[in-house]
Structure 1
């Protein structure tokens, strides 16, 4: 990963993030880290699927299942 991309990703640490997965689920939580396989860790996370929501806490989303990542706002949490 190019240095500029790493710095941009690092700037989103502790920001609210929404992750859309290939199986239709959406996770919304606070971005904590990413590894070299593009696995994301979110804390205080809510899972949404088929109109239902549930709190799931801290999760790791496998990079291979991520379709899109959105930073909800740029307010630091």
Structure 2
């Protein structure tokens, strides 16, 4: 039985309460990543984030173009470095059925001793 199913209802509520206003990275089935402050969730596992940024991997077309430029020119021995594309979204609802991973952003100073 997964750990999430072993939590009592009260423990699960306490855990979710401990995440309020912490920054989460939520990855979806289409490989997008959302980074924002956790506001709430619901029984369907939808997640609401505030002050959210969306990050996307470069498209196949952008990768092919960069590869063509790198192989035809004298650019870093044929290596390609590309950044993820990002945009600010604000308040978002991420449907639970599309969430593949949730990570909590914590700094060393926030970890229990």
Runs of 4+ aligned residues of structure 1 deviating over 6 Å after TM superposition are: none
- Comparing 4-13 with 22-31, greater Cα deviation is found at 4-13
Number of residues paired by the alignment? 75
1:43-73 CA distance string (max 9 Å, x none): 0000000110000100000000000101111
RMSD: 1.4
TM-score (norm 2): 0.63
Residue 49 of structure 2 aligns to a residue whose secondary structure is strand
| Equivalence for 2:89 | 56
Judging by fraction of residues, say which structure has more helix: 2
Report which structure shows greater RCO (CA 8 Å, sep ≥6). Answer: 1
Q: Is the radius of gyration larger for structure 1 or structure 2?
A: 2
Alignment match, 2:30: 23
What secondary structure does 1:23 align onto?
coil
Q: Secondary structure at the match of 1:38?
A: coil
Would you tell me which structure has more strand in proportion to its own residues?
Answer: 1
Q: CA deviation at 1:3?
A: 2.2
Gaps in structure 1 of 5+ consecutive residues? none
Partner of 1:69 in structure 2? 102
Residue matched to 2:47: 40
